[in-house]
Amino acid sequence: MLNSEQYEQLLKEMKSTVYIDGEQVPNYWLHPRMKPAFNLIKATYDMAQSPDLDGELHELMTMKSNITGEKINTFLNIHRSSNDLVKRMKLQRALMRFGAGCFGARCIFGAVANALWAVTYNLDKEGRTDYHERFKKFVARVQMQDLVVMADITDPKGDRSKPPHQQSDPDFYLRIVEKRPDGIVVNGAKFQQSGAPYAHELLVLPTTAMGPDDADYSVAFTVPSNAEGVFFVTDSTASHAKFEAMPLEDIGAGEYSMHESAHVFFENVFVPNEQIFLCGEWHVTRDLVQLFTDHQRLASSSCRMGYIDLCMGASQSMADYNGVAKVNHIKDKLIDMSISVESICAMITGAAMTPQITKSGCVAPNTMCINAAKLYMNDAVLKTAQKTMEIGGGILLTRPGTRDLANPKIGPLLRKYHQGRDGVTVDDRLKMARLAETLSGLACVTPILSVIAAAPPAVNRLQFRFQTDFERNVKAAKRLAGIAE
């Protein structure tokens, strides 16, 4: 397994094409906007190596591969049991509690790889393909080389009311533009790809269930991040600005706490046959999407448990520093947070323990349970952010920065007046206020991201529309009402 220097070295050697703010940037991972997530990905390598950073995470970060039999990073595992799924939950909760930020979307490989594993297995049983064997080799290589692989899913979509083949521009969904004996050429883009530029390999697949007229859009494959025709454009939204305009120490959890994503372009990229895992078989896309969203909802909900843990810690600390730790409504709000996080924990555990068992032997979280968890998490995270702000108070919005504190005239006065209860240093109070600012969503996107990642609630709800056994309940009601069938 790699250490964090080796991970960085690999990135260096690949020289992928990344644009930031309209400029191509060579060592892009060191750019202020890119560094926090990079730091946290490095931490995942360091944690796998030694317990120094965090003992609990050291345990959670590795496991034995059921393909190679070797020790691998947990993020690269094909899940064979409920316990594997529970380990994922624990890993992501603890890692978010550690860094308060996205670990470069390392989670997404697990979602996509497990889904492709199961779907290619079934597809090959139809007798016309050998995708599963190809994919198995790919996963084995990734595990052995200990790579970062990002999944690329979300197409630009154009008019959201229309399927791919009815769009005014055929490229609005990534598609096969040419089939050759030795491979295919694809063209298109994938948007909102969390962590994409930090990856060594990209694993591309369709964003939604396709119909028969969308066969050219039903494609899954892998390419290295530096493949010809692939380039990245990082997002340029307001939440990034602080990393460029502020001293790092003025940003709560500034070392890690940022979510970075990119637009990934595929300009007539050639994909050799052995890297193709789906090529026109639109009839399996529904299952594929169902499986990877189920996995990703586990990932996304697990992370936010760690986020709520941290909000509890920061809120309780701020209350303590302000001298109001014993106030009833504050204690109530902390209990509310605990109920929220344990409710999510219970639901994810329920999802993991009553899994979908695929024919390939790999497991996925129970669909109904995990969708319920995700919907509950959406609200829980926003309520927690709000409570964190209520407890933290105005200082989260109005605190002075290190430059202010360094001024000999105003610095001492700012210190004098930002004192909380006796026995707490001003520096500690300001540090915790910064962290609380970040957690509350005033300076990071976690709360809102939680709602829209792994599909927004409206999509989530569809699972219940399609999978609920409404008929069983109608029958029970009719019987009890005395109505003949």
Residue 420 sits in the site that holds its own copies (CB under 8 A): yes
Interface with its own copies in residues 448-467 (CB under 8 A): 448-449, 451-452, 456-458, 461, 464-465
Interface with its own copies in residues 319-338 (CB under 8 A): 322-324, 326-329, 331-332, 334-335, 338
Interface with its own copies in residues 127-186 (CB under 8 A): 154, 156-162, 168-169, 171-172
DSSP state, residue 153:
-
Smallest distance, its own copies to C-beta of residue 293, A: 15
Inter-residue contact 14 to 224 (CB < 8 Å): yes
**Among 246, 286, 357, 415, which residue sits at the site for its own copies (rule: CB under 8 A)?**
246
Smallest distance, its own copies to C-beta of residue 301, A: 11
Q: Dihedral (C-alpha) 110, 115, 118, 120: value to the nearest 10 degrees?
A: -110
Q: Which ranges of 322-425 does DSSP label H, i.e. alpha helix?
A: 328-353, 367-392, 395-398, 402-406, 411-417
Interface with its own copies in residues 41-80 (CB under 8 A): none
**Among 102, 200, 438, 454, which residue sits at the site for its own copies (rule: CB under 8 A)?**
438
Binding residues for its own copies, rule CB under 8 A, total 154
Nearer to its own copies, 153 or 219 (CB): 153
Nearer to its own copies, 147 or 233 (CB): 233
Amino acid at site 463: Q
Smallest distance, its own copies to C-beta of residue 151, A: 15
Nearer to its own copies, 326 or 359 (CB): 326
Q: Is 454 left (phi over 0), alpha (psi -120 to 50) or beta?
A: left
Inter-residue contact 259 to 101 (CB < 8 Å): yes
**Among 42, 242, 295, 304, which residue sits at the site for its own copies (rule: CB under 8 A)?**
242
Helices (runs of H) and strands (runs of E) counted in the chain: 17, 14
Residue with the two structure tokens 């930090």 = 198
Residue 418 sits in the site that holds its own copies (CB under 8 A): yes
Nearer to its own copies, 76 or 385 (CB): 385
Q: What tokens does 287 get?
A: 């299952």
**Among 82, 218, 222, 290, which residue sits at the site for its own copies (rule: CB under 8 A)?**
82
Residue 345 sits in the site that holds its own copies (CB under 8 A): yes
Q: Is 253 left (phi over 0), alpha (psi -120 to 50) or beta?
A: left
Torsion sign over Cα 325, 328, 331, 337: negative
Nearer to its own copies, 30 or 339 (CB): 339
Inter-residue contact 31 to 25 (CB < 8 Å): yes
Residue 191 sits in the site that holds its own copies (CB under 8 A): yes
